[in-house]
């Protein structure tokens, strides 16, 4: 079986709260449909066209790079941008009184097409559909959350919690993977071979246009890895922080689900970061949990339920940490913050559609609340994950999804905007000129270009000699 065989096989449409988009407001709201682009890349393109810095674009969440996704973005006082290209479409849909944020999202609508489905797998999916409609499924974090494992970087945040700062930095920058493209593979190999020679590493980073300032800091103080880590792009730091926090949650919840579910009612799905336990029927969770399992903050201090704390502490012990060590000190951008997370999620409008001309192809349509993963539902129904890996690398951490980081941080350098493939008079009028090319940034992400405002025409000096205006012979000057 294959999922995401083509971008059209995985479609996502963001669902906003009723009443957010209206006819009036200081913020213009846009509908953005993208393919093979990250949400940050699409937001950067919108910012270029709207004539604002990328940090001024509001988002409710980040969508998967692998697929055709539709989401909304807002810009205060934004232009009525319209753009249509094969990989990106932008259109204004109304106004809002406040900038778009995660609080305005109620979830996502999905259309997931599965190919090469055998008759036995089809039967398993149909059985699972009935079970999930009635009882829901465990709300684990999906494999998109763990790009750090695909790229061989390990658990960087865990290294930092253990005080292993140099090893954390080395794994972040030099960790190797089978899915690395040629450029990233060469970059990692060269850095690893010269690790400790910070001048040589700085020159390599400069050549590749990534993380140059990390090694500038180590050139000043070869032992100050905290200062070097602060030079890693803020979004990349958050990706690694959230990945480890989510991993601890997944492992603790899986152990809890397995402990309260009889063997005959229990099934496991092997994930990238370990097996995940599911219950075929209703999960016999403690009613006092009220269908929640705390995503823990520092030191597990915010985990009130004793059973949840017990399973989280057991997982930390398995990783060589005491509960009070579940914190990262001295390195900015790695602060663990807890939040409530549903234990069981119930998809809405879950349906299966057949294709008469292709017996091995089916499409699943459903809606999930914000923060729930469609690939987890597919894994629960089929018994395995079938996401094809993306060949890229960690220099920009492209393609990572994070519903808890809906806005680019102010001052953070955004990724390079995708070069639009088609220009029209309408779009030129909307933004004044074509988006400028972005500059290279030392730290990995791209430097945002100047706002795309049309320049005022410059008056020519009357004494300037212009081609085609040569005075005729005998004419008075």
Please give the positions annotated as active site: 64
Tokens of 13: 């449409």
CA distance 95 to 19: 10
Cα 250–297–326 angle (5° rounding)? Answer: 80
**303 neighbors 296 (Cβ within 8 angstroms):** yes
What Cα–Cα distance (Å) separates residue 21 from each residue in 29, 50, 62, 100, 410? 7, 19, 19, 10, 25
Element (H, E) at 274: strand 274-279
Buried b (16+ CB within 10 A) or exposed e, 245-263: bbbbbbbbbbbbbbeebee
Closest CA to 241 of 328, 339, 343: 328
Q: Which of 269, 272, 282, 271 is nearest to 381 (CA)?
A: 269
- Decide if 109 contacts 348 (C-beta within 8 A): no
Contact criterion met (CB below 8 Å) for 331 and 214 = no
Q: Which DSSP string corresponds to 187-240? A: HHHHHHHTTT-HHHHHHHHHHHTSSHHHHHHHHH-TT-HHHHHHTS-HHHHHHH
In whole angstroms, what is the distance from residue 431 CA to residue 45 CA?
Answer: 11
Strands (E), 302-347: 344-345
Q: How many residues are there in the chain? A: 477
Closest CA to 244 of 168, 176, 175: 168
> Residue 385 contacts by C-beta under 8 Å, 6 or more apart in sequence?
143, 269, 270, 271, 272, 375, 378, 379
């Amino acid at each position: 079986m294959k999922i995401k065989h083509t971008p059209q096989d995985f479609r996502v449409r963001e669902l906003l709260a009723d009443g957010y988009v209206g006819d009036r407001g200081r913020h213009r709201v846009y509908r953005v449909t993208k393919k093979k682009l990250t949400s940050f890349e699409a937001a950067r393109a919108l910012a270029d066209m709207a004539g604002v810095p990328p940090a001024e674009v509001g988002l409710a969440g980040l969508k998967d790079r692998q697929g055709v996704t539709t989401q909304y973005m807002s810009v205060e006082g934004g232009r009525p941008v319209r753009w249509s290209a094969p990989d990106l479409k932008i259109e204004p849909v109304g106004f809002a009184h406040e900038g778009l944020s995660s609080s305005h999202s109620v979830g996502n609508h999905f259309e997931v097409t599965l190919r090469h489905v055998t008759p036995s797998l089809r039967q398993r999916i149909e059985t699972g559909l009935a079970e999930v409609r009635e009882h829901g499924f465990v709300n684990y974090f999906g494999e998109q959350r763990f790009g750090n494992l695909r790229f061989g970087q390990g658990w960087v945040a865990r290294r930092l919690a253990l005080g292993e700062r140099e090893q954390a930095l080395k794994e972040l920058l030099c960790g190797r993977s089978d899915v690395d493209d040629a450029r990233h593979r060469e970059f990692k190999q060269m850095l690893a071979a010269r690790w400790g020679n910070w001048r040589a590493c700085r020159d390599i980073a400069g050549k590749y246009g990534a993380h140059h300032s990390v090694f500038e800091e180590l050139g000043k103080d070869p032992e100050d890895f905290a200062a070097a880590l602060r030079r890693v792009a803020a979004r990349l730091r958050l990706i690694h922080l959230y990945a480890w926090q989510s991993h601890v949650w997944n492992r603790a919840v899986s152990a809890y689900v397995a402990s309260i579910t009889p063997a005959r009612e229990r099934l496991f799905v092997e994930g990238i970061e370990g097996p995940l336990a599911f219950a075929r029927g209703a999960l016999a969770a403690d009613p006092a949990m009220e269908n929640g399992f705390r995503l823990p903050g520092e030191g597990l201090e915010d985990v009130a339920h004793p059973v949840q704390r017990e399973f989280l502490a057991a997982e930390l012990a398995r990783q060589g940490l005491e509960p009070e060590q579940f914190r990262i000190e001295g390195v900015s951008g790695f602060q663990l913050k807890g939040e409530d997370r549903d234990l069981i999620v119930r998809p809405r409008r879950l349906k299966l559609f057949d294709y008469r001309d292709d017996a091995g192809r089916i499409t699943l349509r459903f809606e999930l609340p914000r923060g729930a993963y469609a690939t987890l539902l597919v894994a629960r129904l089929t018994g395995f994950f079938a996401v094809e890996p993306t060949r890229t690398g960690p220099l920009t951490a492209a393609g990572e999804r994070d519903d808890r980081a809906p806005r680019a941080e102010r001052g953070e350098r955004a990724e390079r905007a995708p070069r639009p493939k088609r220009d029209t008079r309408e779009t030129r009028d909307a933004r004044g000129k074509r988006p400028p090319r972005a500059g290279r940034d030392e730290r990995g992400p791209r430097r945002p270009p100047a706002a795309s405002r049309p320049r005022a025409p410059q008056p020519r000096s009357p004494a300037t000699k212009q081609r085609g205006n040569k005075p005729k012979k005998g004419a008075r000057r």
